[in-house]
Structure 1
Amino acid sequence: METIELGGITKASRSLNITQPALSKTISNLEKKLKCILLERGRFGIRPTEFGEELYLRSKSIITELQRAETVLKEMTGGTSSLSIGALPSLSITPVAETILNLVSSKQNVRIQLIEKPSVDLIPALRRGEFEVALSTLHPNQQLNGLVETILFYDRPTIVVAKNHPLLNKTEISIKDTLNYGWILPRKGAQHRVILENHFKKFGYSIPQEIIESQSVTFTQALLTASDFIGILPNHSIQSWGQNQSTCPINVGSPLPERTIGMIHRAGHALPLPFKTFLEMLLITCEGLGIRTQDPAQ
């Protein structure tokens, strides 16, 4: 595992405090025993073959489960509970940040770890055991073998501009009007961007080419505030800023369709003890922000 994660035998041997020849021999013996090549050398160091990648993922999962078992046993004997969550960057600002604050303020004896990842990286990281639960967009046609999905709430992507943007002087704003300005968009393939692309196509337009790509809600918000750019943000992040926000949502053609937000965890793995409380608080936070929720029990 060290060899793969550090990208080389020399670095791995130093980390493990063994000689390089000893580590090379260990790897060679393992390859002979498994009758397959696990590692290959390239211009940028050592990388796993498909066999090595499979062994790495399974080994990582086993180690993670052993660590988690140790944590659970400590919880059962009165130690501090732990909660490890993977979340989209847009969700980690709100409502997740507010929920975590409420959980900590409730004097729950819990240690919380929040890991931000884009949606395409959340599921692989969840499978590797980097966290216990992922909060992400749910896709109706996505096959998630070995994982369990639960719908939590719904969010509508919203087109946003600065409060002093020239477009706000118009009674109605068309897609053609927006083409005169630069756009800040998520990277290609991100659900918000796909939704916007489909929205433009519905009215016979292609998505603007003059863009800045950003996955950060705070960066997008800051750039919109200081410019005439147009951006797209989750509606829940706009609602959370309330009267203090310096940007304004606009309706272009028609409202964008909702996306479904939910939690994903590995089948057969019990959720950590404090997660039920976190989930209840998350839904209360969403309702307080005016976000349409769904009871996980349904």
Structure 2
Amino acid sequence: MDITQVQRRIRLRDLETLATVVQAGSMRKAAQLMHLSQPAISRSIRDLEQAVGCELLQRSRGGIEPTLFGEALVRRGRGVFDELQGALRELAHLADPGAGEVHLACMETLHAGLVGACVESLLAQHPRIRVVLESGQAPDLIGLFLMQRLVDFTVARPSELPLPPGVEGETLFHDVPRVLVGRASPHVRRRKVRLADLAEDHWVLGRTELMAASPVARAFAEAGLAMPARVTASGSLHTRYRLLDTGRCVTVVPHSLLPFANPGDRFRVLPIEMPAWEFPTMVLKLQHRVLSPAAHLFIDELRRLARPLAVDRPVGSPGQQRSSA
């Protein structure tokens, strides 16, 4: 295969058509999504197959699926479109330094805390910058949003290290859980509260907080206690706050949330020490990916706002991280 000759024959529109057909699962649906006729879609795929000299699609009972060649071209094509969009954003920024666009994803507590504060601060300085935020748990933030190039970067606490191949991370801080109750909780009136005093209470905990390696589980184990039997599993801050208002529930929130979304008189942070999360909260990016100037501005502001959140890191904890690949 003469790579240079093939490259000259490939059109971006045909690559986009292939990716849309694969995503939609049929040429008819792809035609509707792209507002084209079905014969135009078929012709575009045929031209692309002739250009690369490979069959890119195959029919199955479930519809149209990519061949190994088609799958590889779609995967690499995402990078092409991502770099092109990045270049266009950079041109827009050069033409108007006060504008730009940032796409990122993070956990809900970061939306309500650090990242939300960063958006507020950045828009105060650059009111024409557009920010697009996505939300999810760490596996989706890394495996879906970042790896599929749906965002420029993510802010997340990885569930394991080293990072996946092709991903690099910069540590912002190690989060420490703080125990929170509502104003109507009987624990508010106690002068001294121990974790053992809360063992029979109803706890509201997220999926990661219920895992054996979480700081919550470690704190109970170190106190010689079993994990609470009465638990509502929810990662939603709104659900946690609503249940705390009843005065009958206990939860934990990251210490990084409190400076930016202080619960004030509505809730009370109890003086119970818990260990830090083993892995840090990080800015995660794809290696060798060129970010827009607006994304760099956002990350710089994240670093500034996160600096006071740093606590003593656990022994052997990571700082700058790259994948093992």
What value does the CA root-mean-square deviation take over the aligned residues?
3.7
Letter in 1 for 2:102: L
- Quick one: structure 1 residues 277 and 63, their matched pair in 2 at CA, closer, same or farther if it must change by over 3 Å? closer
Structure with higher Rg: it is 2
Q: Which residue of 1 aligns with 2:269?
A: 249
Q: What residue number does 1:63 align with?
A: 81
Q: Larger deviation: 166-175 or 151-160?
A: 166-175
- Aligned equivalents of 2:120, 2:190: Cα separation in 1: 40
Q: Distance in 2 between matches of 1:273 and 1:293?
A: 30
Matching residue within 157, 166, 184 for 2:186 = 166
Tell me the CA shift for residue 174 of structure 1: 4.1
Q: Which residue of 1 aligns with 2:280?
A: 260
Measured in 1, the distance between the counterparts of 2:241 and 2:304 equals 25
- What is the CA distance between 1:126 and its match in structure 2? 1.0
Matches within 5 A, 1:127-206: 127-138=147-158, 141-188=161-208, 194-206=214-226
Q: Which moved more, 1:62-71 or 1:17-26?
A: 17-26
Q: Secondary structure at the match of 1:81?
A: strand
Change (3 A) 1:65 1:270: closer
Maintained 8 Å contact 2:176/2:255: yes
Residue 119 of structure 1: CA displacement?
0.9
Q: Deviations over 1:90-127 (max 9, x none)?
A: 11111111221111111364222222221111112112
* Aligned residue in 1 for 2:123: 104
> Any gaps of 5 or more consecutive residues in structure 2?
1-18, 313-318, 321-325
Q: Give 1:232's match in structure 2, choosing from 252, 261, 268.
A: 252
Identify the residue that residue 6 of structure 2 maps to in structure 1: none
Report the equivalent of 2:3: none
Letter in 2 for 1:64: D
- Shift in CA distance, 279/60, structure 1 to aligned 2, threshold 3 Å: closer
Q: Determine the C-alpha separation between the residues in 1 that align with 2:24 and 2:170.
A: 36
Provide structure 1 residue ranges, at least 5 long, that are not aligned to the other structure. Answer: none
What is the TM-score normalised by the length of structure 2? 0.73
Deviations 1:243-269 (A, max 9, x none): 6351122245x4232452121111112
- 2:86 pairs with 1:76: no
Structure 1, 91-100 or 133-142: larger mean CA deviation: 133-142
Contact kept? 2:102, 2:294, Cα under 8 Å = yes
1:120 to 139, 149, 173: 139
Offset at residue 273 of structure 1 (A): 1.2
- Give deviations 1:137-179, integer Å, cap 9, x for gaps: 1466233322221112232112211122123344444444323
